[in-house]
């Protein structure tokens, strides 16, 4: 079976972890600091704060900006649930703006329509590894005095007009095993703002400013040195992983273009899309239904996945909170998207098998 995602763990990760275990310092320590410095350097930000998940990164970023009860944060409904839930954690209200058809990312024009006097922040999600339209989003944020918190959990190394995502506002990354790089579980906050970085460090560790002096409410969101040791190895290979993803995507698009009812991913010319996912649309014009196509793939030993089958405003949790938005592009995307394997461990033969499964229909 060709899996939809597969982390690449080599001997260097294994020996780096072993060295940490042998050192006896296994919770947050020097390796975390080293990983933070390396990640900040990679993203082109002054500061990076390592945490134990992407969800924790989002939660902390919102809290560090003082967002809470009575505030509204505009985000995409077409994303993983953690994006919107992190807003709920703070007591603020997620407000959903519909997506662009071509990129699946939040549409700047729809953000504009959702701004109220309570809006405090915009949380764009660089979905599938493709940066949002940051020029327009930055302009809207500036005009209305809003904070930008980027959900870059799927976009390590992605660029918009030559600048890395996570450097436009406060950036949030995930290192879950399916992501472009991993630490097992883990996350990172990136920022150029010294105060935000300092607050994030405090919130990560029970609001502690110095040992056993707790100034604000915080959590235990710390990363371990074991995870950071893995992260340092993975970061060193991220460009190579991403280039492989990009080449795999180019191959797939080259072979899957021109098939009736199958729309390959659209790439904006001013972005570097790092293909966390390779997501096509299967429209009604396609020979068979999306479910039937998935079954055909399965029969040929190719795993596929639907990211995401239900937009967040339609999730039971959000229905129970009274959300009844109609966001047509997101709702349509949910019925059409299909992600095919694109990860860096795919062989040439794997890629041929993916293509053949469709061509045989
Ligand atoms: C993975 C992911 C998250 C959450 O990251 P975790 O590390 O799993 O907590 C948040 N947002 C998006 C878009 C993600 O893909």
Residues near 302 by Cβ (< 8 Å), separated by ≥ 6? 1, 2, 340, 341, 353, 354, 357
Give me the residues paired with residue 279 across strands: 339
Query: Ligand 1: which of 87, 174, 187 to mutate, most ligand atoms within 8 Å of CB?
Result: 174
Treating both helix axes as pointing N-terminal to C-terminal, what angle do 348-359 and 290-299 enclose, rounded to 10 degrees?
130
Instruction: Give distance in angstroms: CA of 56 to centre of ligand 1.
Output: 9
pTM above 0.95, yes or no: yes
**CA 45, 46, 51: angle at the middle one, nearest 5?**
80
**DSSP of 194-206:** HHHHHHHHHHHBT
CA–centroid distance, 233 to ligand 1, in Å, is: 21
pLDDT values of the chain reduced to their tens digit, one per residue, 361 residues = 999 999 999 999 999 999 999 999 999 999 999 999 999 999 999 999 999 999 999 999 999 999 999 999 999 999 999 999 999 999 999 999 999 999 999 999 999 999 999 999 999 999 999 999 999 999 999 999 999 999 999 999 999 999 999 999 999 999 999 999 999 999 999 999 999 999 999 999 999 989 999 999 999 999 999 999 999 999 999 999 999 999 999 999 999 999 999 999 999 999 999 999 999 999 999 999 999 999 999 999 999 999 999 999 999 999 999 999 999 999 999 999 999 999 999 999 999 999 999 988 8
Alpha helices by DSSP H, listed for the chain, are 11-23, 30-43, 54-64, 81-89, 108-114, 134-144, 194-204, 225-256, 290-299, 316-320, 328-336, 348-359
Q: Out of 154, 171, 178, 227, give the residue to mutate to test ligand 1, the one with the largest number of ligand atoms within 8 Å of its CB.
A: 154
Q: Whose CA is nearest to atom 2 of ligand 1?
A: 153
Report yes or no: 283 and 261 within 8 Å, Cβ to Cβ.
Answer: yes
> Please, what are the domains in the chain?
11-234 (3.40.640.10), 239-359 (3.90.1150.10)
Q: What is the dihedral of CA 69, 73, 76, 80, to 10 degrees?
A: -40
Strand partners, 130: none
Query: Which residues' Cβ are closer than 6 Å to ligand 1?
Result: 53-55, 79-80, 82-83, 125, 151, 153-154, 174, 176, 187
Give the angle 315-221-202 at the CA atoms, nearest 5°: 120
Q: Are 120 and 147 in contact (CB under 8 A)?
A: yes
């Amino acid at each position: 079976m060709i899996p939809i995602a597969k982390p690449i763990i080599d001997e260097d990760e294994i020996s780096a972890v072993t060295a940490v275990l042998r050192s006896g310092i296994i919770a947050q320590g020097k390796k975390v600091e080293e990983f933070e410095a390396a990640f900040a350097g990679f993203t082109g930000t002054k500061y990076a704060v390592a945490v134990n998940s992407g969800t924790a990164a989002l939660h902390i970023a919102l809290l560090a900006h003082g967002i809470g009860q009575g505030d509204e944060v505009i985000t995409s409904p077409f994303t993983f649930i953690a994006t919107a839930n992190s807003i709920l954690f703070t007591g603020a209200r997620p407000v959903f703006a519909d997506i662009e058809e071509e990129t699946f990312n939040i549409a700047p024009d729809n953000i504009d329509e959702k701004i109220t006097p309570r809006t405090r922040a915009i949380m764009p999600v660089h979905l599938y590894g493709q940066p949002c339209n940051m020029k327009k989003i930055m302009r809207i944020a500036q005009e209305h005095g809003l904070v930008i918190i980027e959900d870059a959990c799927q976009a390590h190394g992605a660029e918009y007009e030559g600048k890395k995502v996570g450097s436009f506002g406060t950036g949030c990354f995930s290192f879950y095993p399916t992501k472009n790089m991993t630490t097992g579980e883990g996350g990172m906050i990136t920022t150029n703002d010294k105060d935000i970085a300092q607050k994030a460090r405090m919130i990560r560790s029970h609001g502690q400013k110095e040992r056993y002096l707790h100034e604000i409410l915080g959590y235990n969101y710390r990363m371990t040195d074991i995870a950071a040791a893995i992260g340092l190895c993975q970061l060193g290979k991220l460009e190579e992983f991403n280039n492989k993803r990009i080449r795999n995507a180019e191959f797939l698009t080259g072979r899957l273009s021109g098939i009736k009812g199958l729309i390959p991913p659209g790439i904006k010319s001013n972005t570097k899309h790092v293909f966390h996912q390779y997501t096509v649309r299967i429209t009604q014009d396609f020979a068979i239904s999306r479910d039937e196509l998935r079954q055909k793939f399965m029969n040929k030993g190719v795993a596929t996945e639907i990211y995401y089958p239900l937009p967040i405003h339609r999730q039971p949790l959000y229905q129970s909170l009274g959300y009844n938005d109609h966001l047509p592009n997101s709702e349509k995307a949910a019925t059409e998207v299909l992600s095919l394997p694109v990860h860096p461990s795919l062989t040439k033969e794997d890629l041929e098998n993916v293509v053949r499964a469709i061509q045989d229909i």
